[in-house]
């Protein structure tokens, strides 16, 4: 879910393939982090704060498809025999000669036990 041609193309393919609108943020949205921070405080932690690491990386197609496989729920993954066609569908949906630059933001909530 990045602001790039390849990411928008990938998202379009996945939404069409799975017949759904992709909206889940895997707990990374600001409101999710706030809820987690409040839960930590309620569980007896103090000094809850967020630490963020950001970097940019270039992915190979194999790394990109591996990321897709790791993000899709196991019960929705294409079977082993169907994965080559699924990967080829993704490859065909992406802009030609596109570099897959990914902006990564890793957020961590850290705290101390009271």
Given a cut of 80, whether residue 27 has pLDDT beyond it is no
- Cβ contacts of 22-30, under 8 Å, gap ≥ 24: 25/1, 26/71, 28/105, 28/107
Mean pLDDT to the nearest integer, 25-29: 75
Q: Would you state the pLDDT for residue 87?
A: 96
Q: What is the mean pLDDT of residues 89-97?
A: 93
Residue 114 structure tokens = 């009271």
Mean pLDDT of the 90-105 span: 91
């Amino acid at each position: 879910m990045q602001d790039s041609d390849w990411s928008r193309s990938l998202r379009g393919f996945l939404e069409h393939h799975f017949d759904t609108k992709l909206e889940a943020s895997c707990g990374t949205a600001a409101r999710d982090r706030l809820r987690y921070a409040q839960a930590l405080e309620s569980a007896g932690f103090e000094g809850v704060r967020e630490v963020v690491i950001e970097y940019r990386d270039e992915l190979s197609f194999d790394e990109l498809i591996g990321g897709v496989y790791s993000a899709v729920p196991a019960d929705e993954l294409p079977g082993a025999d169907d994965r080559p066609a699924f990967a080829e569908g993704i490859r065909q949906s992406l802009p030609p000669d596109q570099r897959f630059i990914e902006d990564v933001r890793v957020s961590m909530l850290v705290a101390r036990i009271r």
